[in-house]
Amino acid sequence: MSFYTDLPEAMRELMGIPEGADTASLSYNIMLSFAAALTLAGMTVSMGSAAIAGEERDETLGLLLSNPKSRADVLISKITLMVVLTAAATALLWVAGRVVPATLDVDIGATHVGATMLHLGLNAVFYSFMAITIGAWTGNRSMASGVSAGIMILSYFAVGLLPLVSGLAGAAKVFPATTSMAAPPSSTESTGITSRS
């Protein structure tokens, strides 16, 4: 346990470890900030890359566009569906994030589940928009998935690790994960939020 509690503050924030965490809350916060973030964002990247590029790969885009719908309507309906599915998955994670610790009698400390889920959901929507944009631009689903997932993972680690290198903390602000993924609001100290959701 001391291995995790002795990590530098930036590394603990990257992993979502609150100050004074016990083993159960440590596991819980790592699950929420790391596994849930990457899983939800990965799922939405897959949906985003399939939205247009997948239709083109399956040779169904022409049929879809032959309906009396404009290209903008098709794109807006696909984006709307993606956002609704992401919101539903985020809500499901929020319910699980409240029910599972209560069921297992795990103290989650100062973790703000609602704020964390909002961060995860917004992060996932950002990367899904990136994937749908690359997929619509190139028509290549593999490229859309690969570039979006690569930027997501690079951002996550850059935002967590660059502050540990003297003089590079400011460079972390260039990466998209700066506000949404690397520092989930796991405690009142990091967010200023005082009420639990």
The predicted structure's pLDDT at residue 129: 92
pLDDT confidence tier of residue 110, bands split at 50, 70 and 90: low
Whether residue 189 is predicted with pLDDT greater than 50 in this model: the reply is: no
Report, as an integer, the average pLDDT of 91-112.
80
For residue 144, what is the enclosing H or E element? helix 141-161
Q: Residue 70: left (phi > 0), alpha (psi -120 to 50), or beta?
A: beta
- For residues 23 and 20, give the distance between their C-alpha atoms in angstroms, rounded to a whole number: 10
Report, as an integer, the average pLDDT of 131-143.
89
Chain centre distance of CA 65: 31
Tell me, what DSSP letter sits at residue 164? G
Whether residue 101 is predicted with pLDDT greater than 50 in this model: the reply is: yes
Query: How high is the mean pLDDT of the chain?
Result: 77
Mean pLDDT comparison of 16-20, 66-70, 90-94, highest-scoring range: 90-94
- For residues 129 and 136, give the distance between their C-alpha atoms in angstroms, rounded to a whole number: 10
**Percent of the chain's residues with pLDDT above 90:** 14
Whether residue 119 is predicted with pLDDT greater than 80 in this model: the reply is: yes
Report, as an integer, the average pLDDT of 98-110.
77
- Neighbouring C-beta atoms of residue 181, cutoff 10 Å: 27
Report, as an integer, the average pLDDT of 58-75.
78
Whether residue 165 is predicted with pLDDT greater than 50 in this model: the reply is: yes
Whether residue 187 is predicted with pLDDT greater than 50 in this model: the reply is: no
Give the sign of the dihedral formed by CA 9, CA 28, CA 146, CA 61: negative
Place of tokens 């690569």: 150
| Stronger pLDDT, 41 or 178, i.e. the higher one | 41
The predicted structure's pLDDT at residue 57: 80
- Say which amino acid occupies 193: I
Show Cβ contacts of residue 129 under 8 Å, excluding neighbours closer than 6 positions: 48, 79
- For residues 128 and 182, give the distance between their C-alpha atoms in angstroms, rounded to a whole number: 17
Show Cβ contacts of residue 96 under 8 Å, excluding neighbours closer than 6 positions: none
Whether residue 177 is predicted with pLDDT greater than 70 in this model: the reply is: no
Whether residue 98 is predicted with pLDDT greater than 80 in this model: the reply is: yes
Report, as an integer, the average pLDDT of 172-197.
50
Torsion, Cα of 193, 129, 72, 139 (10° steps): 180
Q: CA-based angle 38:87:85, to the nearest 5? A: 85
The predicted structure's pLDDT at residue 134: 92
Retrieve residue 174's tokens. 């260039």
For residue 121, give the nearest of 14, 10, 36 by alpha carbon: 36
